[in-house]
Structure 1
């Protein structure tokens, strides 16, 4: 832009001043990059399975390094979890024939415990990277991924199938392509539940950190440097002092992650709330405010804009995106018979091969024993869900519908949910032994420490996402007490509660692996249940019983999902979607 006489104007010649906020953000990014580069050689260190150590050093001076290694694995698992969520949830919501397969598969994947995945994948990853610790690192990251991905996928799937019809019509009028609709409607519409469930999944993954870093399969234990393996070594030695030190470091780590990452994400996701009147208060984050004042993120994202425009152009020939509830009836009828037949043949063949393997090893009668002990775990899961619902639904509504309370309570809830409760198992074991509580009852408490938060987080997300205009209408009409709960609050949070309930149930089954068999020093407590059955089989490398245990657990979880949770999903979709 030229001024008088053809010379550039002052606005062009003026250079933006170097601001402290830009220096701070740039320094933080460079520090993060430097740390990752320094950490990279350790990930590819020499590794020999026969000589690998079974325990890590419990010297407290190693804890800062262990904390960095564990945190790196957690975020390395979060990235593929988000990608998996986007791809899998979109396929399940948009492809109706594929949905009939993808949702049951997701039920099964959610029901398979972390140890079930580890028993199969550890050897494969080690062989994929022979002589390198990278294979064991990949196995650990994959185990953490299995503790994160399913809950996030369920949450994003529900947000897709419950999109408001008027937004679908607007997308059609604007002729958005599938790619444009995904980034401008699907992701923004599901961002609030995705962030909350991502935060919960991240916290749930902390719960399985010990099993993911101190891996016991085939009568072998492989230990990776990390907080989980440090705690496992201290617990095995009965050193409560060092367990306490690990708990202190974990509290600092969890609080730091929530303050620097999840709190900004929660505050940022508020921009995607759909409502006609603005809420009185919004979540705030010092980190997010700092990033918004800085020009560094905008400059880093500028080179990616041509890529987004190119993808918009490339996807336009595929035509406009269809609404998730759109059903081409003729296509479904003509293709479903062949699709269902091929799927049934595949399932029957796989089941026949598995039964033949079990018959030749453990014997089919072992299924009866597994179903019997599974009934005990099923009873614990039911008790856990009932108690967690009665306790946390009112608390979640109170937090979610009161912005001032939420501002103080959300960080506390995030820390409680993110803290790996199995670090407290030694103290719980000592208490059970001292008081004389059998683990058959105490296991419910231990399982609840890792599973109850799914209900609380989803209820908070549901209550906080209720449009302000509806809240104001209820206040204006003076609707209160039991009527307000029955006609307004419970229907509004019902879809979120269903997501929380189904993931809490899956999390409880997974938590039974570490909650039904606990050790501290010379104390070894075992409860009657399917979790203890699978943990013992995994520790001894008994593949037939691992297969039996995982199969029986899958049957229990899929049956409960089909008979209860899927029906509640349909009810939420057809009757209670805002």
Structure 2
């Protein structure tokens, strides 16, 4: 494979990422604002999103194969499948960011909108979008990394004998390694790293720095030009929709008809899935799931402890030294973005060296899927909570070292730690599908766990078993979120405010 193949593969992957990101932003604005402003939509959508964000990427493969690949022309269906799978790695925290931003707005804003007869389009463009900008940008750092992290899983869609490989950098790197072309393999990794770094330095970091004074390396000139173009395009779309809103009255019957269409559409596919479950030995799947669940729980809690200690140390070093902050944040952006499955060939020598090697690499992959959620939450939201007067008092009374960490640093950042741990918890579960099972150099490494079980069902082509296992996992995660994490989050947020 040559340089041209590498450039084309990078171009395909980057294009899929950008399309998925744009769609994710629009979905986040539409769904998040609807949830925040309509109690019925909020009541119905919140639990559904809670389940969907907990489903690992393999759990969406049956949907992709049935809906996109099965019903659309092959090339378009495959590309739509890849974009859809990337969206499932990007969109959830963006939706919740928009939802929280609009939910926290002063009610008087909506009273004024009612006085001035704002319609849906006017509210969307003049209230919802500006209010959500900060949340969308803050979540972009981890969302963009999450998309790259699962990129390979989106470009290689396989279920039993059905396998579809799309041209892209993930496929390029894996095929180079499997064919023994290590020159192309390392060229692919180098090209991927360079592309990821450039997207952060040119696109996302300047946007974040424009809102928060964070230690992020950025080049502003390209961002400023692109920002101007995007603003002009957005303003044009805004004017079109507001013009339509003023000139065209949409009957309520029409909007209800659209809602009914989507309800019937969803019900049809749910019924189709339920019919598949009737022919399945549910007891057998549930038993296999129950056997593997404790293994994954151990893996996830272990990686959460490592993530907490690692993020705490790096965040404190970032707080003490802005120069170190540049290095750590850029390294974090890069490491968090490297596709999960690529860590296995990259660390193949470790994995093949001893019986403990695969478990060590598995831990590294899980850390990549979890730790950076916590780190970026602390960097963006936590460090900004450390109040200037507390720092000045610490200087006056010469409070340093561990005493400073215990009395000022930790209490100030703990609300961000709470939300970061919750995100890292979800990230770790999603990472289990690529950390607990892999085929490397003709050898299969199976570390056990729900992620490994999903992979085994996928290899065997058991579509319904994959869907049911993913659903069971999602329900367990949601139950633990409600019973454990929500209480921990509430206690930490109220008990550690840095006051």
Q: TM-score, length-normalised on structure 1?
A: 0.72
- C-alpha change, 1:168 and 1:460, in structure 2 (3 Å) is farther
Q: 1:145 & 1:293 partners in 2: Cα distance?
A: 22
Partner of 1:10: none
- Alpha-carbon distance, 1:148 to partner: 0.7
Please list every run of 5 or more consecutive structure 2 residues that lacks an aligned counterpart in the other structure.
249-262
| 1:493-543 deviation digits (Å, cap 9, x = unpaired) | 344333322222222111111111122222221111111111121222112
Partner of 2:345: 426
Partner of 1:449: 368
SS of residue matched to 2:153: helix
- Alpha-carbon distance, 1:485 to partner: 4.6
Within a 5 Å distance, the mapping from 1:190-269 to structure 2 comes to 190-269=132-211
1:287 aligned to 220, 237, 250, which one? 220
| 1:349-407 deviation digits (Å, cap 9, x = unpaired) | x79984x8546333413311212102211111111111101210342354367655444
Partner of 2:86: 144
Partner of 1:410: 329
SS of residue matched to 1:361: coil
Contact 1:119 1:538 in 2 (8 A): no
- Alpha-carbon distance, 1:185 to partner: 5.9
Partner of 1:476: 392
Structure number with larger C-alpha Rg: 1
Within a 5 Å distance, the mapping from 1:522-541 to structure 2 comes to 522-541=442-461
Q: 1:239 & 1:463 partners in 2: Cα distance?
A: 44
Partner of 1:516: 436
Contact 2:86 2:154 in 1 (8 A): yes
1:115 aligned to 47, 58, 64, which one? 58
1:498 aligned to 410, 413, 418, which one? 418
How many residue pairs were aligned? 476
SS of residue matched to 1:111: coil
| 1:297-353 deviation digits (Å, cap 9, x = unpaired) | 7766675574476589799xxxxxxxxxxxxxxxxxxxxxxxxxxx9xx99xx7998
Q: 2:384 & 2:93 partners in 1: Cα distance?
A: 19
The answer to which structure has the higher helix fraction is 2
SS of residue matched to 1:67: helix
Contact 2:160 2:458 in 1 (8 A): yes
| 1:366 and 2:299 correspond | no
- Alpha-carbon distance, 1:293 to partner: 12
Partner of 1:84: 27
Q: 1:435 & 1:293 partners in 2: Cα distance?
A: 50
- C-alpha change, 1:429 and 1:362, in structure 2 (3 Å) is farther
SS of residue matched to 1:133: helix
Please list every run of 5 or more consecutive structure 1 residues that lacks an aligned counterpart in the other structure.
1-57, 271-278, 316-342
Q: 1:380 & 1:227 partners in 2: Cα distance?
A: 29
Q: 1:283 & 1:363 partners in 2: Cα distance?
A: 50
Q: 2:296 & 2:172 partners in 1: Cα distance?
A: 29
SS of residue matched to 2:387: helix
Q: TM-score, length-normalised on structure 2?
A: 0.82
| 1:544 and 2:464 correspond | yes
Q: 1:295 & 1:460 partners in 2: Cα distance?
A: 28
Within a 5 Å distance, the mapping from 1:18-167 to structure 2 comes to 58-130=1-73, 132-162=74-104
Q: 2:273 & 2:458 partners in 1: Cα distance?
A: 21
Contact 2:457 2:463 in 1 (8 A): yes
Provide the alpha-carbon RMSD of the alignment. 3.8
Within a 5 Å distance, the mapping from 1:324-363 to structure 2 comes to 354=274, 357-358=276-277, 360-363=279-282
Q: 1:484 & 1:162 partners in 2: Cα distance?
A: 32
